Amino acid sequence: MKTYVLHGINDLRYEDTKIPEPKSGEVLLRVSAAGICGSDIPRIYETGAHRHPLIPGHEFSGIVEDVGFGVDKKLKGKRCGVFPLIPCRKCVPCSRKKYELCRNYDYLGSRRDGAFAEYVAVPADNLIEIPDEISLETAAMLEPMAVAVHAIRRVMPHGINEGYTAAVFGVGTIGLMLISFLLDAGLSVNKLFVIGNKNFQKKAALENGVLQENFCDIRDCDPDQWLDERTGGYGADLTFDCVGKNETVIQAISHAAPSGHVLLMGNPHSDMHLERDVYWKILRHQLRVTGTWNSSFRNELDDDWHYVLSRLQRGKIRPESFITHRLSLEDLSQGFEIMRDKTEPYIKIMGVFK
């Protein structure tokens, strides 16, 4: 089969490899669509993966081609999304079904072979069946959508409180999905403030419900003054950092309302440093600063993935609007380079395979 194999840092090759055989408890999935995640770019070009050689790719969907020992043969031909984290099911978090916090997890696309290939072997327990009305391109975005939902549930486990205000720093794929699910969960559009720095991101945010007057483009807008004006200096009840830079983390803390919740979800670009006044803000305003990572998947109706699926089935969320590029497997390297070099605007670059 054709695949992209990462042999080392900045050594990604498009080559022929053997089609994997599904082991006990696994299925062989013919990949239909695979999105490029922002984390794939440093993994390929800067840091490398946990082992080499490795096939990257963890946002994907496909059709079950074959099954290994112990797997129900009725899965053959099923359209599925895939939770990429493979828990050990032995550690303390796993015993509590907090699989996203597993201490000894495996991971498709970073620790074991992933989906930038024609076929991939995955655990049957990690599959979520996709109804016919949902496209496999949309199903390939279940993972980032579930990440956004998980973040919201970390700060509002019982739903969005009426009257709350929210500020979102960063309008990449996750930021846009966060915006969509916040509005879908009941946050008033008048009380959602978004800070970004790119025209195409602003356009996508406005198309997904953000009011033009509630979008701050930092190229011609001072976000600190702008947020103070819109919140009366009180701050937002919920602030989300989707960037992972020191300045946006500080802004998320600085513009949180008293007793507010600060949610940190951007992968860090560097070390973080808090000045004394920022630390004082956390103490004196009794802020709750929360981290989030990955999403919950238990094969139960109330986990993050099934929540996303239910909203998709109701037509409330339109993630396909975030796809700016559709590339064949052979041409997918163009997507890696676009994201690495920022040569053209993009939101979600999707590999669409035969």
**Euclidean distance between CA atoms 226 and 214, whole angstroms:** 9
Cα distances (angstroms) measured from residue 221 to each of 92, 97, 195, 197, 217? 47, 44, 9, 9, 6
> Same domain for 105 and 199?
no
Within a domain: residue 305? no
Decide which of 272, 291, 310 is a domain's last residue: 291
> Same domain for 6 and 126?
yes
Task: Give residue 130's pLDDT.
Answer: 97
Would the pLDDT of 269 be above 90? Answer: no
Task: Decide if 336 contacts 14 (C-beta within 8 A).
Answer: no
Residue with tokens 């916040």: 182
Within a domain: residue 303? no
Cα distances (angstroms) measured from residue 70 to each of 123, 132, 232, 297? 11, 26, 61, 21
Q: pLDDT tens, 189-245?
A: 999 999 999 899 999 999 999 999 999 999 999 999 999 999 999 999 999 999 999
Within a domain: residue 308? no
> Same domain for 215 and 168?
yes
Q: What percent of the chain has pLDDT over 70?
A: 100
> Cβ contacts of residue 17 below 8 Å, gap of 6+?
1, 3, 5, 55, 117
Give, in degrees to the nearest 5, the angle at Cα 111 between 5 and 345. Answer: 60
- Amino acid type, 120: V
Within a domain: residue 300? no
Decide which of 275, 291, 307 is a domain's last residue: 291
> Same domain for 282 and 159?
yes
> Same domain for 151 and 136?
no
> Same domain for 35 and 126?
yes
When computed from its CA atoms, the radius of gyration of the chain, rounded to whole angstroms, is 20
Task: Give residue 142's pLDDT.
Answer: 98
> Same domain for 56 and 122?
yes
Within a domain: residue 304? no
Number of independent structural domains in the chain: 2
Would the pLDDT of 354 be above 80? Answer: no
The count of other CB atoms within 10 Å of the CB of residue 319 is: 25
**Token pair of 142 as six digits:** 């279940």
> Same domain for 155 and 258?
yes
Give, in degrees to the nearest 5, the angle at Cα 96 between 298 and 303. Answer: 25
Task: Decide if 148 contacts 220 (C-beta within 8 A).
Answer: no
Task: Give residue 316's pLDDT.
Answer: 81
Return the CATH number at 19.
3.90.180.10
Q: Where are the alpha helices (DSSP H) in 232-352?
A: 246-254, 276-284, 304-313, 332-341
Q: pLDDT tens, 27-83?
A: 999 999 999 999 999 999 999 999 999 999 999 999 999 999 999 999 999 999 999
**Token pair of 224 as six digits:** 């600190």
The count of other CB atoms within 10 Å of the CB of residue 83 is: 28
Whole-number average pLDDT of the chain: 96
Q: DSSP string of 30-43?
A: EEEEEEPPTTHHHI
Task: Give residue 162's pLDDT.
Answer: 82
Within a domain: residue 312? no
Return the CATH number at 180.
3.40.50.720
Which range marks the domain in which residue 186 is found? 147-291
- Amino acid type, 41: I
> Within a 13 Å sphere around the CA of 189, how many CA atoms are in the beta-carbon half?
11
> Same domain for 133 and 152?
no
End-to-end CA distance of the chain: 12
**Token pair of 128 as six digits:** 């979520």
pTM of full prediction above 0.85: yes
Residue with tokens 């696309």: 109
Q: What percent of the chain has pLDDT over 90?
A: 95
Q: How would you classify the pairing of strands 192-196 and 166-169?
A: parallel
Confidence of residue 270 (pLDDT cuts 50, 70, 90): confident
Within a domain: residue 313? no
Mean pLDDT of 264-271: 91
Q: Is the peptide bond before 131 cis (omega within 30 degrees of 0)?
A: no
